[in-house]
Amino acid sequence: MSADNPKSSQTDFERLLGGAGFGRYSMDATAYYIECWVVNRMAESGVIDAKPRMVQADYDAYPSQVLALRPRCSVYPRTVSIETQVKCNAKCDFCPYPKSPRQGEEMPTDVFEKIIDDLSVMPKDHWFQMALCRINEPLLDSRLEGFHDLIARKLPGAVMTFWSNGTMLREGAFEWMGGHKGARLVISLNAVNEADHVRLMGFGLKRVLKNLDYVHRLKADGKFDVAVSLVAPWESKLQAQEVADFCRQRWPLFSASIRPFFEWVGQSRKGGDYRQKTTEKNQASDAALGFACAQWFDLHILANGYATKCCIDETGFVGDERFNCATRNALEVFAESQWLRDDLPDRSGVSGCEGCRHLG
């Protein structure tokens, strides 16, 4: 990790990483967005100069980050995400959800429990990220708290990452997250002014701001021991700085990161037009076509039970029973892509990945 201020050091990085609950991760294998969280915390504490931090856009470091995953995450995944239902209260213009034929799908509880049982054979010292999200607002699923309790009991190596668009972070609806040590709450705050928020997400800011103010008060009072990160897309330098400044001033206990738009794959290409508009500004590059992908070390499962190629694959392997986690052991499904982790080929030669520039 590079820093502009000579006061920053590996010790600072390790200290803040451990404080976020990620102390057991090897630094080389740590996902880039965790590094971004740490960098923002450094900025908040004055260790380095404050500035908005780009997520998933370090083209120089990315290949070595992917290679570093191989010793630890070849047999067991770096990240497991499970979409428990396909239901959202937003209409984001860059997301497949508004027109997805999968709207309304829900993973049966017994299938979810089966997948967790499948994963429970992983070594207890294998630390990985766990998220119950996809094209949805996770907190709309009333089973969410119980699902995370099950994960905590059966998967001791799971580090929880909660996602939300902010609308459901009402008093009494989410505080249970604080019971999961080392957890993070990531909030998609796609704009900090009303017009842009309506344009991007289909609804206004008022409710989100009110809810985030409440979350921040809980943290300030020591009643919510969860790292909170706000994530916005890159549209321009001015917009990125606006987001960073607004968040830092209003919620100093949260971190704020900026990431490039990405184009979904599978049967949806949503986000592609936004990515093309901002390509030059967010450093998106054809160089990525010659990279292997860190997503090959992850296991992502749709509400219908089928695994996907990556976190931005809307369709997945639907219809291919080799990838059906409802009927096959989830770790056997993960093993179907073992060759990718062994060979780390250029994505340009991998079916379904050949045009992707996303650094996930």
Q: What is the pLDDT of residue 270?
A: 66
Per-residue confidence at 240, pLDDT binned at 50, 70, 90?
confident
Q: Mutual orientation of helices 10-17 and 32-45 as an angle, nearest 10°?
A: 100
Q: What is the pLDDT of residue 278?
A: 64
- Strand order, beta sheet including 53-54: 53-54, 255-259, 227-233, 184-188, 158-164, 128-131, 79-82, 298-301
Q: Over the stretch 295-316, which tens digit does the pLDDT of each residue have? A: 999 999 999 999 999 998 998 9
Q: What is the pLDDT of residue 292?
A: 94
Q: What is the pLDDT of residue 56?
A: 47
Hey, CA dihedral for 3, 7, 9, 13, is it positive or negative?
A: negative
| Residue 274, pLDDT above cutoff 70 | no
Q: What is the pLDDT of residue 94?
A: 87
Q: Tokens at residue 128, please?
A: 């990985």
d(CA 292, CA 196): 34
What average pLDDT does this structure show over 164-185?
96
Whole-number average pLDDT of the chain? 83
Domains of the chain: 10-349 (3.20.20.70)
Q: Over the stretch 114-150, which tens digit does the pLDDT of each residue have? A: 999 999 999 999 999 999 999 999 999 999 999 999 9
